[in-house]
Amino acid sequence: MVVGAGFAGLTAATELAAAGIDVTVLEARDRVGGRARGLQVSDGGWVDAGAAYLGDRHTELHSLMAGLDLKATPTAMRGASRFALGSEETTRDGRFPPLNAVALGDLFERLDELTATVRPDAPWLTPGAGELDALTAEAWAERHLAHPDARLFFPLFLGEMMAADPARVSMLHVAFYLRSGGGLRYLNAFEGGAQQDRIDGGAHQVCERLAARLGDGVRLGEPVHAVHQDDDGVTVRGPKGEYRADVAVMALPPLPADAVDHRPEPPARRTGDRTARGCAVKVHLVYPAPVWRDHGLSGWSVNARGPLLSTVDDSPAGSGVGVLTGFVTGAEAHRFAALDPGEQRSAAVGQAARLFPMLPEPVGFHVTDWVNETYSQGCYAALFGPGDWVRHGPGLTAPHLRVHWAGTETSTEFFGLMEGAVRSGRRVAAEVLARR
Amino acid sequence: MSVDTTAAAAGDPPAGPGAPAGPRAGADTEGVVAMFRRVLESEDVSADSDFFLLGGDSLVATRVLSAVARSYGVELTFEDFLGAPTPGRLAEKIADAR
């Protein structure tokens, strides 16, 4: 029995089925994919409303895609960027913001130095872990960043990189996340980095194709409320009934996983009072064509004020339409999510028009609020708050009798990314097979 | 171009902010080579290696500018770096600015 039909759960189920095990996957939503979701913007044109990017180091995802006949498509950007970091908008070649380069360099040097100290396989064993884990990223910035440009850029960087609000995330988690994803430079880069490619046609297709192969074994609309174990097996209960299994794999983000009624109770919880939801709202603005390109602009922008803290050209190749994806992250995501749909639209469309004055009225407008998604409780991934790694880290992958744990937050490699989810699915399948 | 092997072997820039200023472009080149090697995590750097052809990007370039400011007391801009993306030419910029 696998609970959750995202990348982790479906990878695990696929591997278990291939080993001859009878697997059922229960999915709460009426779709598979978890934090990856496709959004159709034109006839044949799809964009990613959730997880989107991958790089060459994401080897498990690449091999999974190859087996499913899915291809990567480059995110390569051409043209100048737009920045709204001071009193007015500016245009510059490349992606480097009009901020003091030495101050940003000091920030990145400090982050790199800190990242290098992290024990990637066991962050709680990092030298000075207790002290670093007690500190929020905001407190760290107050202590270490003197220049106003570094202080301005740091929250934008954390928002873009990991959808984090600096006031809520542990600095050990920040350093770990950067290390786990391949380091500051790899994680930040499009070309040659973790954003080098998207999945042609949308990331959700990985899950749809895996689910199609599992056939009737995947059951949609079956949220799980309780997982009760006894000497002979596991009873998994939801509103539609109950299932009996030898073993259960919980392939859920840690916050929803902790909301399930487990009996007996696990020796340790997976989250605490300060574990926060990843703060990401994705906005898609659809235009008749990517008109910014005719003006030498890439569609990339970085903005000190919201709602759109950054934008990127996500126009599906060959679709004709132009799509600007706006990222609303960190504390801004909570503010934006609380607006009514009309306010969201006028704020986002208005901001896009100031950044790209050549834009006509959008022909499509979509808001995907991951912060308030019941079954994800945040995106890109859970944000470990102060004390979480030291308290919960050591038990994240430890099986609880017949219950095993998966999900990108259980992977110390590429934590928070699709790659981490796939690796966790493979790890948990191997654990379950080793029980026999 | 003189080669200061002791500085290269030490793997660190040869001068601190308090070091005596002067026409030490040769020594600075070695210092900048060491910075490139450190941030690019590659030994394959010489005085005329282009930072961006070695895989450097703007984020990593700012780390070099930060190291330059710490070691030589000289604040260069990102545009300075784009115009002088090799250790030899960046060392000239540093010498000009001191």
Q: List the beta bridge partners of residue A119.
A: none
User: Residue A317: what pLDDT?
Assistant: 87
For B35, the closest chain A residue by CA position comes to A109
> What is the largest distance, in Å, between two alpha-carbon atoms of chain A?
68
Q: List the beta bridge partners of residue A197.
A: A54, A74
- Torsion A51-A62-A7-A157 (CA) sign: negative
Over residues B51-98, the pLDDT tens digits come to 999 999 999 999 999 999 999 999 999 999 999 999 999 999 999 998
Burial of B66 (0-12, 13-18, 19+ CB in 10 A): buried
Instruction: Report the Cα–Cα distance between both ends of chain B, in Å, rounded.
Output: 20
Has residue A37 got a pLDDT over 70?
yes
For B80, the closest chain A residue by CA position comes to A101
Architecture of domain B25-97: Orthogonal Bundle (1.10)
Has residue B22 got a pLDDT over 50?
no
Over residues A183-238, the pLDDT tens digits come to 999 999 999 999 999 999 999 999 999 999 999 999 999 999 999 999 999 999 99
ipTM: 0.91
User: Residue B1: what pLDDT?
Assistant: 38
Band (pLDDT 50/70/90 cuts) for residue B27 is low
Residue A345 phi, psi dihedral angles, 5° rounding:
-65, -45
C-alpha distance from B66 to closest chain A C-alpha (Å) = 5
CA-to-CA distance for A21 and A431, rounded, in angstroms? 13
A105 and B57 within 8 Å at the Cβ level: the answer is no
CA-to-CA distance for A279 and A376, rounded, in angstroms? 11
Over residues A169-186, the pLDDT tens digits come to 999 999 999 999 999 999
> What is the largest distance, in Å, between two alpha-carbon atoms of chain B?
33
CA-to-CA distance for B90 and A211, rounded, in angstroms? 55
Residue A198 phi, psi dihedral angles, 5° rounding:
-115, 175
Band (pLDDT 50/70/90 cuts) for residue A76 is confident
Band (pLDDT 50/70/90 cuts) for residue A256 is very high
Residue A343 phi, psi dihedral angles, 5° rounding:
-65, -40
A112 close contact with B: CB closer than 8 A: yes
If contacts are CB pairs under 8 Å, which of residues 72-111 in chain A contact chain B? 94-96, 101-102, 104-106, 108-109
Test mutation, B41, B42, B58, B62, chain A, max A CBs within 10 A: B62
Per domain, the residue ranges of chain B are 25-97
Q: List the beta bridge partners of residue A314.
A: none
